[in-house]
Chains A and B, each alone.
Chain A
Amino acid sequence: MPKEKNVIIAKDLCLEYKKDVPIIKDSTFTIKSGSFVFITGPSGSGKSTLLKSFYGELKPKSGILQIGGVSLNDIKSSKLAFLRKYLGIIFQDYKLIKEWTVEKNVMLPLLIAGYSKNVCEAQTKRLLKHVRLSGKEHYYPLELSGGEQQRVAMARALAHNPVIILADEPTGNLDEYSSRVIWGLLEGANEQLGTTVVVVTHSIPTNLKVPFKHLYIENGTVYEIS
């Protein structure tokens, strides 16, 4: 992914699932490389929809949407697959592969990137220690608590040192301890590695140490709040 000053650019962006029922309409905003961004808004306002468009699951109806200089408007599957290698995605429902062990789930982005088995294992071990799940490498996701599963998802999102982390309500269902771990890791990635972090959430944590940008969605329009 080329290094762009603005890693995400949206201009007059319109998103819709059904024809003529726009979820996001005529919204213009930018997200700078290395920034920490919160997307908030009432339930059903289109926060998750906007995030989906960032990883190419929903193509823009009209307007312009660019990620790392790559237009998502008419992107081909092969190019999208290539782009996603630079993204780390965290979902509210974790989206872990339940037939795979914790170790293999975390390894997934590394395997896709083509790293050797040794590198994958070493990186996975380091990350699981980081998310405080050492010793649970051979567990299956359904053997873990919700908080632990989300920490596995966090480790997976960080595994390949992504350029952008996209998180959809990452602490929505979590206990306080797991939430603290997740926020700490997101802050760490942003501060230490310069990773751009985009988080969809209902409420912005009060004890965040890093400066952040706030995008607020209401009635389908994205507002930048300073």
Chain B
Amino acid sequence: MKSLKNHISLIIPLFAILFAVEFYFLIDKIITEYEANLSKDYSIIVVSKKPLTLPELKAVEPDITAIKEVSSELVLERLRQNGVDVDFKELKSFLPHFYKVYLGSFPSASTLRHIKKLLSSVDGVTRVETFTKVHEKIYHFLVFLKNISKFFLGIIFVTSIMLVFKQIEIWNLEHSERMYIMALFGAPLWMRNAILIKLSIIDTIISTLLVYLIYSYLLSTKYLKELLGFENITIDSHDLLRDLGWLFVLGICISVINVLIVSWRQPKIT
């Protein structure tokens, strides 16, 4: 019973850390995919007196992945629908070239301002429209989400590390007599701490598996599937399995580092 209590005392903070880390991983993945989807749909409108080519624009901004000319017929059609009374044939000959410029990644507001400046400096370009207001709203929301998850992760990480540390300190006290006797017979540090490291590894395995099972369950629920599917975001079991490895390594590192710190903090067994 006491042993079970001891294990649970380490499993809970380790679980909290790993759960928070996995939450961060997932949020990051969702935001990255969401950004990719946004950048696919997002384009800058460039108006130019001269025809533009992709290499020409790429030389100015390498993140530009494609340009698509907007047919002037579409512009004229809109004017026609608005009942503008002009000679459309003549107007067509005066109309500049309209381009949709696509980017490789979803840019920040400052990057976008920079890109706008660069495109405006291209020979022949008379106007660049980035739709900054709409863009900034979405972008700030994503940054806010990322920061919130980072903050959440930070708080959980610090408090849980302290709990892990305390639990390993308790273990150390429980096993101090054994470690002292082993030291008297010349056991090296790693051998004296082997029992603590063994306990830590067992609890890390349990915590990692718990995190994996809970996330697998959550991601398989209809509600989350629908929510993510709506934004064309997919998180498959391979993503979770890859994370499982990272979580296990992280859990082991936290435990072993704590064991070593606790050992070094103890009065020296000379």
Is the beta-carbon distance between A109 and B185 smaller than 8 angstroms?
yes
In the complex, chain A residues whose CB is within 8 Å of the CB of B187: 81, 108, 112
B183 to chain A: closest residue by CB:
A81
**Of B177, B191, B268, B270, the contact of A112 (CB 8 Å cutoff):** B191
In the complex, chain A residues whose CB is within 8 Å of the CB of B181: 95-97, 108
* Partner-contacting stretch, out of A52-60, A126-134, A178-186: A52-60
**Of B178, B182, B191, B270, the contact of A56 (CB 8 Å cutoff):** B270
Is the beta-carbon distance between A89 and B185 smaller than 8 angstroms?
yes
**Of B177, B182, B188, the contact of A108 (CB 8 Å cutoff):** B182
Q: In the complex where A59-B270, A81-B188, A112-B191 touch, is A99 in contact with B183 (Cβ < 8 A)?
A: no
In the complex, chain A residues whose CB is within 8 Å of the CB of B270: 56-57, 59, 77, 80
The distance in angstroms between the C-alpha atoms of A108 and B270, with both chains bound, is: 18
Least CB distance, B2 to chain A, in whole angstroms: 13
Q: In the complex where A56-B270, A57-B270, A97-B178 touch, is A82 in contact with B186 (Cβ < 8 A)?
A: yes
Least CB distance, A50 to chain B, in whole angstroms: 16
Q: Which of B240-270 contact A (CB under 8 A)?
A: 268, 270
Least CB distance, B12 to chain A, in whole angstroms: 25
Q: In the complex where A56-B270, A97-B178 touch, is A78 in contact with B188 (Cβ < 8 A)?
A: yes
Q: Which of A55, A81, A84, A109 has its CB near the most chain B CB atoms (within 10 A)? A: A81
In the complex, chain A residues whose CB is within 8 Å of the CB of B182: 97, 108, 112
Interface size on B, residues (CB 8 A): 14
In the complex, chain A residues whose CB is within 8 Å of the CB of B177: 97
Q: Is A70 an interface residue (CB 8 A)?
A: no
Q: Is B184 an interface residue (CB 8 A)?
A: yes
Is the beta-carbon distance between B188 and A55 smaller than 8 angstroms?
no
Is the beta-carbon distance between A85 and B186 smaller than 8 angstroms?
yes
The distance in angstroms between the C-alpha atoms of A89 and B182, with both chains bound, is: 12
The distance in angstroms between the C-alpha atoms of A85 and B181, with both chains bound, is: 13
Count of A-B contacts with CB under 8 A? 49
Q: Is A174 an interface residue (CB 8 A)?
A: no
Least CB distance, B198 to chain A, in whole angstroms: 13
Q: Which of A71-104 contact B (CB under 8 A)?
A: 77-78, 80-85, 87, 89, 95-97, 99-100
| Range for the number of chain A residues in contact with chain B | 20 to 34
The distance in angstroms between the C-alpha atoms of A85 and B182, with both chains bound, is: 11
The distance in angstroms between the C-alpha atoms of A109 and B185, with both chains bound, is: 6
Q: Which of B174-196 contact A (CB under 8 A)?
A: 177-178, 181-189, 191
Q: Which of B188-220 contact A (CB under 8 A)?
A: 188-189, 191
In the complex, chain A residues whose CB is within 8 Å of the CB of B183: 81, 84
Query: What per-residue 1/0 map shows which CB atoms of A41-61 lie under 8 Å from chain B?
Result: 000000000000001110100
A97 to chain B: closest residue by CB:
B178
Least CB distance, B128 to chain A, in whole angstroms: 68
B268 to chain A: closest residue by CB:
A77
Q: In the complex where A59-B270, A99-B178 touch, is A83 in contact with B186 (Cβ < 8 A)?
A: yes
Is the beta-carbon distance between B268 and A108 smaller than 8 angstroms?
no
**Of A57, A78, A112, the contact of B185 (CB 8 Å cutoff):** A112
The distance in angstroms between the C-alpha atoms of A172 and B270, with both chains bound, is: 26
Is the beta-carbon distance between A81 and B178 smaller than 8 angstroms?
no
The distance in angstroms between the C-alpha atoms of A85 and B177, with both chains bound, is: 19
Is the beta-carbon distance between B268 and A55 smaller than 8 angstroms?
no
In the complex, chain B residues whose CB is within 8 Å of the CB of A56: 270
The distance in angstroms between the C-alpha atoms of A168 and B4, with both chains bound, is: 38
The distance in angstroms between the C-alpha atoms of A109 and B191, with both chains bound, is: 12
Is the beta-carbon distance between B188 and A84 smaller than 8 angstroms?
no
Query: What per-residue 1/0 map shows which CB atoms of A182-208 lie under 8 Å from chain B?
Result: 000000000000000000000000000
The distance in angstroms between the C-alpha atoms of A84 and B178, with both chains bound, is: 16
| Among all A-B residue pairs, the 8 with the closest Cβ atoms | A84-B186, A85-B186, A81-B186, A112-B187, A97-B178, A109-B185, A95-B181, A112-B186
Contact residues of A with B, CB < 8 Å? 55-57, 59, 77-78, 80-85, 87, 89, 95-97, 99-100, 108-109, 111-112, 156
Contact residues of B with A, CB < 8 Å? 177-178, 181-189, 191, 268, 270
CB pairs A–B below 8 angstroms (12 shown): A55-B184, A57-B184, A77-B268, A81-B187, A82-B186, A84-B186, A85-B186, A97-B177, A108-B182, A109-B185, A112-B187, A156-B185
